[in-house]
Structure 1
Amino acid sequence: MKRLLCSALLGLSGLSAQAAVTVTDCVIREPAPGTDKTGLYFTVNYQPDAETASLRLPAPEALYGAAVPALTSYTELHDMTHVDGVMTMTRIPQVQVKPNTSLSLTPGGKHVMLFNLTKMPKAGEQYPVELWLAFDPNATCMAEVKTSAQIAADNAGQVTP
């Protein structure tokens, strides 16, 4: 349903915003043994050009989720919060990405959950990812599967937003 809505919105936008969004640092966490779910993390960079800015009346881009067809047909956008020492994961409908900014989806913060995995991804493998955005129909990345230790080492010294 969300994908259909996004497609309808794209048709109305004239499909002019294809170069405004780039995706980097795309990573899938290797699932723990015995589980059929895992996390997907990446950074979305939104740099509107003149054509994009004229169509959007400086509106932010909206991320609604992602698809990883080689692994699952069921994903959800989530946010992790820490309150009184308790970590809670909550499903969220979207994340706004303001013009001329980047948004990082990271462990312990906003991320995409992959559920009901049809295949268990292993560290070192790569999978194509398609992002569901309000305006950009071609935002994709190639996600590398990494272990929790590799992800922690990559994120050492970085602050989660």
Structure 2
Amino acid sequence: MKRTISTLVLGLSCCSAYAAVTVTDCVIREPAPGTDKTGLYFTVTYQPNAQTQSLRLPAPEALYGANIPALTNYTELHDMTHVEGVMTMTRIPQIQLKPQVAAELKPGGKHVMLFNLKKRPVAGETYPVELLLAFDPEVKCDAIVKTSAELKQVGQH
């Protein structure tokens, strides 16, 4: 049993050397007063390199969600769409990351929903986020909390 655990740990630690996913512009929207949910937005890019390509992965990298234990234990990927003048939010299982193409998670589009907040994040605070990906086990960012007005000012509306 110890050998199996050691092999697993070594296997996972080697994978971090193959990190091919980067994340930028990590932001949490300050929730509206009285609500216990909000959104997480960021840009994620998958850039396979010689090491990741040598693994001959069965599929491209995919994003499945995020962990933010300081704020919540419950997150979901969502997509906002406009259909016949009505905005609809739908839960999605994953976002496929295409090589060399930035996937932008933003208000009004694909994003991570944070539910059952343990506390209300306030503008200016920062929280550690770990992305849940198919192959890259250690992609993290520090998300800064911004108000809705601040998000609109930087073009994320």
Q: TM-score scaled by structure 1?
A: 0.86
Tell me how far apart the structure 1 counterparts of residues 41 and 28 of structure 2 sit (CA, whole Å).
6
Deviation for aligned residue 1:16: 5.5
- 2:4 aligns with none
Question: 1:86 — aligned with what?
Answer: 86
Q: Does 1:124 find its partner at 2:124?
A: yes
- Report the residue type matching 2:79 in the other structure: D
Relative distance call for 1:56 and 1:99 in structure 2 (3 A) is: farther
* Deviation readout 1:2-58 (Å, 9 max, x if unpaired): xxxxxx9xx58x616642011100000000000000000001011111010121358
- 8 Å CA contact 1:26, 1:143 repeated in 2: yes
1:78-135 deviation line (CA, Å, top 9, x unaligned): 0001000000000000000011121010000000000000010000000000000001
Match of 2:5 in 1: none
The CA RMSD over aligned residues, in Å, is: 2.0
Letter of the structure 2 residue corresponding to residue 117 of structure 1 = L
Match of 1:40 in 2: 40
Counterparts of 1:10-49 in structure 2 under 5 Å? 15=15, 18-49=18-49
- Which residue is 1:70 aligned to? 70
Rg larger in structure:
2
Q: Which runs of 5+ in 1 are unaligned?
A: 1-7
What residue number does 1:115 align with?
Answer: 115
CA separation of 1:114/1:48 partners in 2, compared to 1, >3 Å: closer, same or farther? same
Conserved? CA contact 2:43–2:105, under 8 Å:
yes
SS in 2 for 1:103: strand
Aligned residues: 148
Structure 2 gaps of 5+ residues are 1-7
Distance in 2 between residues matched to 1:145 and 1:33, nearest whole Å: 14
Output the amino acid matched with 1:90.
Answer: T
Shift of 1:69: 0.5
TM-score by length of 2: 0.88
1:15 alignment partner, SS class = helix
